[in-house]
Amino acid sequence: MRKFSIPEETLVDVFGNLDEHLRAIERDLGVRLSARGPEITVQGEPDREATAVNILGQIASLAQSGYSLKKGDIDIALRLVRDNRTAQLRDFFSSGRLKTTNGRFVTPKSENQKLLLEAIHDHDLVFAIGPAGTGKTFLAVASAVAHLAEKRVERIILCRPAVEAGEKLGFLPGDMAEKVDPYFRPLYDALFQLLDRDRANGHLERGVIEIAPLAFMRGRTLNNSFVILDEAQNTTSEQMKVFLTRLGINSKALITGDVTQVDLPPGRTSGLIEARRVIADVEGVVFVDFDESDVVRHPLVQGIVRAYEAYRHGRAAPQPAEEVDPPLPRTRRRRIRSVQGPAGD
């Protein structure tokens, strides 16, 4: 059992509404917390007691620095400290946020998400590769919106291969925009979440935000643009080469994909898989890898991704511990390729 005190002015942020932050820490770490004024008592296994004290102390320090904790920040803090006992929440939350528009901020939910935002800021060609639900597409669109709001680029170009996921949709009615609309729905979802719908539609009508089917990219030079290629695992070798050679002056390109969900016909090589082999050592190109620990959708998604990954490698999927007995914190290495030479902006 451990007892420690926190500054009284941080009680609201540390405890949360109706002590919801304390309850979240109890559930996640399998400890028991009780408070009397600013004094908190922690009961549980020694390692988990220490982790709980670490998190509570860092949350108090974060509140003292002026950061206002938002819904979901406790879950992010727990994820970070579980994955890395030496994680510094103050550094993560104060430097990791991305301002999009109208005072809105996007906060990364894992260390790899933060690494992706840093890579996008510092380099002009970035690959984000990992399983479903790790926030790749959302962070790509958020970064593009932030660059547009700061006038660092003049337009956003959203690109995606028109490949069905396992079923043929057949003939789609309408003009070209209406035909490709179903394929771009995930990008629209992220766009409308970050910008109000009227502003987003206004940008689309004026061409500030452009939907560009990959098949029509040949011959173009994309200057002063933030270009996103989503679902890149479904590009062919030729399509990927065409896309990568479109990048013009003062532009950035972000390529996202999941190499475990390739929907190309049998015998066709994924352009994303080939690109990693071909240009991994090109100066200025950065790859950021995500895994199941970065999944930020429904908690079930993380287990599903882990099970499929285990099945793909011919081993039994690890069984999660019961809620009252969660796994001990573990350290996960940072997965970002180091790059030499000057960084793009």
Cα–Cα distances in angstroms (integers) from residue 4 to residues 26, 63, 199, in the given order = 16, 17, 49
pLDDT at 244: 94
Mean pLDDT across the stretch 257-282?
A: 92
Q: Rounded to an integer, what distance in angstroms lies between the CA atom of residue 190 and that of residue 230? A: 12
Encoding tokens for residue 236? Answer: 């062919």
**Is the Cβ–Cβ distance between 108 and 140 less than 8 Å?**
no
Helix (H, G, I), strand (E, B) or coil at 77: helix
pLDDT at 165: 43
The one-letter code for the residue type at 295 is: V
In this predicted model, what pLDDT tens digit does every residue of 4-44 receive, in sequence order?
888 888 888 888 888 888 898 998 889 999 888 888 999 99
**Is the Cβ–Cβ distance between 128 and 256 less than 8 Å?**
yes
Q: For residue 297, what is the DSSP state? A: S
Encoding tokens for residue 36? Answer: 């009397």
Q: Rounded to an integer, what distance in angstroms lies between the CA atom of residue 75 and that of residue 325? A: 17
Q: Rounded to an integer, what distance in angstroms lies between the CA atom of residue 118 and that of residue 261? A: 26
pLDDT at 180: 61
In this predicted model, what pLDDT tens digit does every residue of 100-151 receive, in sequence order?
776 677 888 888 998 999 999 999 999 999 998 899 999 999 999 999 999 9
Q: Rounded to an integer, what distance in angstroms lies between the CA atom of residue 187 and that of residue 193? A: 10
Q: Rounded to an integer, what distance in angstroms lies between the CA atom of residue 231 and that of residue 272? A: 9
Encoding tokens for residue 197? Answer: 């719908």
* Of 48-62, 131-145, 296-310, the least confident: 296-310
**Is the Cβ–Cβ distance between 40 and 56 less than 8 Å?**
yes
Percent of the chain at pLDDT exceeding 70: 82
For strand 105-106 and strand 98-99, is the pairing parallel, antiparallel, or unpaired?
A: antiparallel
**Is the Cβ–Cβ distance between 116 and 296 less than 8 Å?**
no
Cβ contacts of residue 153 below 8 Å, gap of 6+? 144, 147, 224, 225, 226, 250, 251, 252
